[in-house]
Structure 1
Amino acid sequence: MRHILLPLLLLATPAAAETVEQALASAPPGTRIGLLVVDADGRELAAVRADERFVPASNTKLFTTAAAFATLDTAAPDVAGGATVRLEGRDVVLAGHGDARLSSAADCTADCLAELARAVVARTRTVRDVIGDDTAFPDERWPAGMSWNNIPGRYGTAISALTLDDNVTTLTVDGAGKVSGDGYYRIDGRVDVTTGGEPSLGYARLPGSDRMTVTGTIPAGHAPVTLTVGVDDPAHRAAWRFVRLLRAAGVRVTGTARVRHRAVTPADDPATRGQAPVARAPEPVPLARLTPGPLAEDVRLTNKVSQNLHADLLLRRVGRVTGSGSVADGQAVVAALLDKAGVARAGYDFSDGSGMSSYNRISPRSAVALLRWAATQPWGAAWRETLPVGGVDGTLARRFAGTPLDGKLFAKTGTLNAANALSGYLIAASGRTLTFSALANDMADDASATAAIDRALLAIATAN
């Protein structure tokens, strides 16, 4: 018989306590669960391994987006992040400043790369090279501790100050097994056509390679299937797309797409350079600058659908307020925020802003402390509105639907290899708002512990 140890469990009634214990015991074999639930006065209603550290997966985004709300102007148009274009002699420089929403889609209506192309057309009809410049941040494209096998996919695409179309591109597999793309990758199609069944397709690309291998099966005559794949060098991809837009607009491009990166140096780490603000050279005057919408809109997207790239860009942007835009600078801002919130230093470690790194650790107590502190801040209500709502939207649209917590739970989800997480706020049966963090690790065969977590939270909400 399996038993989950409950070092501390405090609930309204013994019967409710048994229900919670049963819920946690329903988790897959080997699961380690941490849980902390407190009321508005901070009184612990349930505590299980509350001070142990867990891989938080996308619960990391709680810490990153709270730092963004506390540090950046989230309500105003995002002038600072907008991409720019300028001329350097005969070359065109497309520069990114951390905006995650730049788009080259044909139906783009806001934050559109085509607008920058029109600015070039208005000035000249012949250029040489198109340079993708992402030097606003150091060149740290993937976080330490992220699995390399995530790199080819959309969830692990590279991070860059010059981000376009979420730094992904698409491939299409038709009913004849033919694989096509937009020309950015060399495609090695190895898809077999079958007489029935459903499509079963996969893809792989070695890091740094432009060769994408697509394998699997598709039924003859099946409707085309779209695969979304990640990009290794977003600045190059953006410059490549800009070349195409310029040529379509009648500009003669005599050179190639190339990039301008900024190497990571000791000056990008506040621990080695000291805490003095980073001095920056004045930005060259651009031909045009895009002004994306308020940053709060992007934070809402980031939390609702758990967008990894956008979260990691937010970490770099908070790190650029007084630093260089490095991961270390962003981590320093988050650490200062958590110190202000009264979160014990032993309760967390982060290597990224999204939760893709398996090096990240938090305790349930550290998450609850952040959530309680954030609720007291002037931006707290607006930040809470960016969280998914149980049974309503985002990554919680199908969880808690039709239960007493339908529309009454506001929380960030998290899923990574052998890790599930859910932390946020819930409205209990009494109408009181409770703050909670539930973290599960070590499930065998990457099984899910979300059902056990949800059952425990429902039991707590019912008992309180």
Structure 2
Amino acid sequence: MRYRRAGMAGAALWAIAAAPDPGVEAAVRAALAQAPAGTRFGLVVRDAGGVERVAIDADDRFVPASNTKIFTTIAAFANLAVDGSDNARTGVRIEGRDVVLVGAGDARLSSAEDCASDCLSTLADAVAARTRVVGDVIGDDSAFPDQRWSPGMGWNNIVTRYGTGISALTLDDNELALTVRGEDGKVVVSGSDYYRIDNRVTVGPTSVVTYDRMPGSDLLRVSGTVAAGADERIRVGIDDPAHHAAWKLAKVLRSKGVRVTGRVAVRHRPYRAVEDGAVVARGVLPPMLTRTQPEPLEADIMVTNKASQNLHAELLLRRVGAVEGTGSIADGLRKVSAIMSLAGVPRTAWDLSDGSGMSTYNRVTPRAMVALLGWAQAQPWGAAWLETLPVAGVDGTLARRFKDTALTGKLRAKTGSLAGTSALAGTMTAASGQTLTFALYANDIPEGATATAAMDAALLAVAAGL
């Protein structure tokens, strides 16, 4: 564990004196009033001295959406070795005539033709160097319990890249990139033959392509129109990532002259709530032929926060949960709970069901989030963690927000977005030059509307006034 355990420090972060600025709060409220009717806001701003300067419904509970990744990535910094010494490395071994691809939570294994590191082809080369004939090709993701989707995630997201299955064995972000092209009066869908394609796309004046698939089905229906000569890219989710990874390894092996005589199979570890804290007995297994070597963990956390990558966040939570646990969602959240206690946050101020923010069961108060952010900044790795957040008007999910404003390059924050929800929490440099820590949530946004402009205007008012 890589965090300070000072008992009174957390309590101090929570029970801090308030010195509200009426003028700033009035300007903030005026900005938020421009949001669609019915939108519910919560905001807390603390100054460089840790004093609360703005508090609007500070203890109300809000759906945080991808702000949830703040909890997860802080827990990763606090519990995992970011220098890569405990990287979750994918391995391959031979058991009799069978090849087993073994996942350990690595989020970056790639089958791309231009792959330079953490490559599936490296593992296939090791097999091809040992044998020219194999039986079954097995994907083993039993390092974590089989919890492919978290409680509270909308089932309609499963077909998309945002809701793809979570697995200890992950390849190409557990998504398929397909190309829809209109040419010579017909439409071709290409990129992978993993799914059966029901192609209902027609050539039209504009390109509007949609897709759907029932959970558990291998039939992907692609509909809509595509302009003649145009290429439309769609990225779809995968229900059983271990099976897909093994299926892809079998294809790569064949391309290297290895004959695959068996089938593609999987090894899952069923999740049972009673198993939390238990050790799974695996017996004596043959040694790995080789393992991949991903980049240091900090690089993955950078991707997770800047791009708001759901799969990577979920794998981080499970890896945290594998520290003195089974790698379940519940075990990961126990580590988060320990951090929240150290930050002095009451248990009633937050609830989580996942590591990415796709769950609508997640709740947090603005005051709780600001306390967590303050605790993280006081850690030895706090500055490194802040560097992983998007920068206003510069990169990540904030590249187009606060552009050409007083906060361009001066605000680092994690975004969050779900139906009816928008979130932003992090730090910013005010006009006075001091660093402010803030958490701003908008819930109950009417369908088809947005509260982003009002939120940004409110934060600009804070920065100008403090």
Fold shared per TM-score above 0.5? yes
CA deviation string 1:52-86 (max 9, x = no partner): 1000000000000000000000123554x010000
Q: Which residue of 2 aligns with 1:211?
A: 219
- Aligned match for 1:178, one of 183, 188, 204: 188
The answer for the alignment partner of 2:348 in structure 1 is 346
| Inter-CA distance 90–124: structure 2 relative to 1 (3 Å threshold) | same
Pairwise mapping of residues 202-351 of structure 1 onto structure 2 (< 5 A)? 202-219=210-227, 221-270=228-277, 284-351=286-353
Q: Deviation at 1:136?
A: 0.2
Question: 1:114 and 2:139 equivalent?
Answer: no
* Distance in 1 between residues matched to 2:354 and 2:22, nearest whole Å: 40
**Match in the other structure for 1:451:** 453
Map residues 189-200 of structure 1 onto 2, 5 A cutoff.
189-194=199-204, 196=205, 198-200=206-208
Matched, 1:160 2:170: no
2:441 to 439, 442, 448: 439
% identical equivalent positions: 59
CA distance in 1: counterparts of 2:129 and 2:101, whole angstroms = 16
Show the counterpart of 1:6: none
- 1:62-77 equivalent positions in 2, closer than 5 A: 62-77=70-85
Contact 1:151 1:157 in 2 (8 A): yes
Aligned partner of 1:177: which letter?
V
User: In the alignment, what sits opposite 1:371?
Assistant: 373
Q: Is the 2:63–2:421 Cα contact (8 Å) retained in structure 1? A: yes
Gaps of at least 5 residues in structure 1 are 1-8
C-alpha separation between the residues in 1 aligned to 2:284 and 2:445? 51
Structure 2 residue 422 is the aligned partner of structure 1 residue 415 = no
Secondary structure of 1:445's match?
Answer: coil
Tell me the SS of whatever aligns to 2:394.
coil
Contact 1:11 1:463 in 2 (8 A): no
SS, match of residue 417 in structure 2: strand
Contact 1:268–1:329, Cα closer than 8 Å, also in 2 = no
Query: Do 1:78 and 1:293's aligned partners in 2 also have CA atoms closer than 8 Å?
Result: no
Matched with 1:397 is: 399
Contact 1:205 1:213 in 2 (8 A): yes
Contact 1:139 1:160 in 2 (8 A): yes
- CA RMSD across the alignment: 1.5
Other structure's SS at 1:177 match:
strand
Matches within 5 A, 1:5-20: 12=21, 14=23, 16-20=24-28
Amino acid at match of 1:193: V
1:11 CA drift (Å): 5.0
Within the alignment, does 1:143 sit opposite 2:150 as a pair?
yes
Distance of aligned partners of 1:373 and 1:264 in 2 relative to their CA distance in 1, 3 Å threshold: same
CA contact (8 A) 2:94 2:286 kept: no
Residue 54 of structure 1 corresponds to 62
Query: By how many angstroms is 1:284 displaced?
Result: 4.3
Q: Which runs of 5+ in 2 are unaligned?
A: 1-17
* 2:388 aligned to which of 368, 386, 389: 386
Give the SS at the match of 2:404: coil
Please state how far the C-alpha of 1:283 moved relative to its aligned partner.
6.2
> Residue type matched to 1:190 in 2?
R
1:165 maps to amino acid: D
Given candidates 197, 207, 210, the residue that maps to 1:187 is: 197
* TM-score w.r.t. length of structure 2: 0.93
Q: Is the 8 A contact 2:80 2:86 kept in 1?
A: no
Q: Distance in 2 between matches of 1:42 and 1:160?
A: 40
Please report how far the alpha carbon of residue 408 of structure 1 lies from its aligned counterpart in structure 2 after TM superposition: 0.5
